[in-house]
Chain A
Amino acid sequence: MINSALRLILSGILLILFQILILNNIQFSGYVNPYVYIMIIMMIPSLTPAWLLLIAAFSAGLVIDLFSGSPGMHAGATVLAAFSRPFVLRLIAPRDGYESGSDLSLAVYGLRWFFIYASAIVLIHHTALFFLEVFRFEGFFRTILRILVSSAFTLGFILLLEYYRKGK
């Protein structure tokens, strides 16, 4: 139990470092900003108390904020994503429900399930994040386009990492 919690925290730190050191420095045509660190929100096991999930998400967002000089932006988006996670999980629950404390991963629940789960969380997070960033509704469709393109890239990265996890 403690071991798995430790591993979770360690992979969270690795994800944040990956985000800050590499992904934040990718500038590709102004549309593509993958934010892979939100995998942290997805990796936290099922049936974790919601308040713990919210606080973990908030801390992760805040750390990213501190390093990208945008206080509150990522924190707001990650907290929203974490808040909606239980609803998403309930909507796409497999027939026999979730095992208590199970790893919400591709390895356990399959590619189809994980793809839907990840896209829902990524879309919620990116929508909140990009609208918080522009903070206006002018140029609405441009923002939507940025959300979709970045979500696709984030999702790609997340699937790659999941297959890596599965392979291990």
Chain B
Amino acid sequence: MRNLLNFLLKYNNLIVFLILEGIAFYLLANGNHYHNSRIVNGFQGITRGVNERISNTKTYLSLREINSDLAAQNSSLRDTLRALKQEQSIGFTDVTDTVAGQKYKYTPARVINNSVNRQKNYFTIDKGTRQGIQPDMAVICGNSAAGMIVGCSENFSVAISMLNLDFRLSARLKSNGYFGSLTWDGKNYRYALLNEIPQHIALNVGDTIETTAYSAIFPEGIPIGTVDEYKKSGSDFYVIKVALFTDFKKLNYVDVIADLQRDERLGLENRFK
């Protein structure tokens, strides 16, 4: 204690100096937008490097799993190809559709930062405006919905995860086409909720839920999950618990879907609002 007091007495000027400079820096960092953003950017530069390294290692460790996923996807694609070829050989002819052109464009990307344990989860991917990514594009993992791009820098983009309280997605039952809105209740990262499905329709556990084209973000018919259980709530609608296809805890390789006709469609729709 005595030593401590002696120490404080000996260096009191230095201590006053450091305290005052600390206050000045605190004010500088908090009161000026420019300084604040410089400091925050500096820290983010450091953490981004670390994040990238961590995710590189993680990717390496799960290569075996990714490999088998890819093999499965390959074989299913080959199946589809075979089926299409069969159809063609039965009598359909190949017509190049020059009027419509290509509607969706896929860009593969890697997830370099992700979380599932917050109430508002976002993930970061390693592609940005330079690679043609824009906000409001859909993100799928394998063949199931995963999220939506909300912000881009030159080389990175941040997507809002389906596991976010602010996330809304128009979704429908594959079997009969009734649509509702899909949200997350913030509880379990494997399940989401589908609301606004009227109670008069027949519902079965295991029914597939897929996206609609209403949002002009996701293409139609991207699988989301299956009905895990459903309850009749007090109102006229079911509360449906949906088991998600996408496992957000091992989100790794994703595809970003650009709707090439989105601007045209929204432009037309806006004229009637």
Determine the distance from Cα of A76 to Cα of B21 in the docked complex, in whole angstroms: 5
A71 to B25, CA, bound (A): 9
A58-B24, A71-B31, A79-B24 known; A136 vs B17 contact (CB < 8 Å): no
Q: A50-B13, A51-B13 are in contact. Are A75 and B31 (CB under 8 A)?
A: no
Complex Cα spacing A51 to B19, Å = 11
From A59, which residue of chain B is reached at the shortest CB distance?
B20
Query: Does chain B have a CB within 8 A of A113?
Result: no
- The dominant DSSP class at the A interface is helix
Residues of B in contact with A, size category: 10 to 19
Given the known interface contacts A50-B13, A54-B13, A135-B38, the answer about A73 and B20 at a Cβ–Cβ threshold of 8 Å is no
B188 to chain A, nearest CB (A): 45
**In B219-259, which residues have CB < 8 Å from any A CB?**
none
Instruction: Tell me whether A65 and B27 are in contact (CB under 8 A).
Output: yes
Q: How far is the CA of A65 from the CA of B28 in the complex (A)?
A: 10
Q: Is B106 an interface residue (CB 8 A)?
A: no
CB-contact partner of B24 in A51, A72, A135, under 8 A: A72
Chain A CB within 8 A of B104 CB: no
Contact B21 A80, beta carbon cutoff 8 Å = yes
Residue of A nearest to B38 (CB): A135
| A54 with B38: CB separation less than 8 A | no
Determine if B203 is an interface residue (Cβ-Cβ < 8 Å).
no
The main secondary structure of chain B at its interface with chain A is: helix
* CA distance in complex: A153, B20 (Å): 28
Task: Judge if B34 is at the interface, Cβ distance under 8 Å.
Answer: yes
For B12, B17, B26, the residue with the greatest tally of chain A CB atoms inside 10 Å of its CB is B17
- Specify which chain A residues have a CB less than 8 angstroms from the CB of B35 in the assembled complex: 72, 135
Least distance between B9 CB and chain A CB atoms (Å): 11
Chain A residues with CB under 8 Å of B13's CB are 50-51, 54, 83
Residues from chain B with a CB closer than 8 A to the CB of A73 are 24, 28, 32
Instruction: From known contacts A51-B12, A54-B13, infer whether A135 and B27 are also in contact, taking CB-CB under 8 Å.
Output: no
Confirm or deny: B23 has a beta carbon within 8 angstroms of a beta carbon on chain A: yes
Whether A132 sits at the interface, judged by CB under 8 Å, is yes
Q: Which residues of A contact B27 (CB under 8 A)?
A: 65, 71-72, 75
Residues of B within 8 A of A136 (CB): 38
Residues from chain B with Cβ under 8 Å of A80 in the complex: 21
Taking a contact as CB atoms under 8 Å apart, the answer to whether A72 and B20 are in contact is no
Contact with B along A70-111 (1 / 0, CB 8 A): 111101100110010000000000000000000000000000
Chain B residues with CB under 8 Å of A65's CB are 27
**Is A61 an interface position by the 8 A CB rule?**
yes
Distance (Å) between the CB of A137 and the closest chain B CB?
A: 11
> How far is it, in angstroms, between the C-alpha of A75 and the C-alpha of B21 when the chains are bound?
8
Among B20, B29, B31, B38, contact of A79 (Cβ-Cβ < 8 Å): B20
Greatest chain A CB density within 10 A among B20, B29, B31, B32 is at B20
Distance A95 CA – B146 CA, assembled complex (angstroms): 78
Please report the C-alpha to C-alpha distance between residue A54 and residue B24 in the assembled complex, in whole angstroms.
12
Please give the distance in Å from A32's CB to the nearest CB on chain B: 21
Binding site for A on B (CB under 8 A): 12-13, 16-17, 20-21, 23-32, 34-35, 38
- Extra contacts besides A72-B24, A72-B28 (6): CB < 8 Å: A54-B17, A72-B32, A73-B32, A79-B21, A83-B17, A132-B28
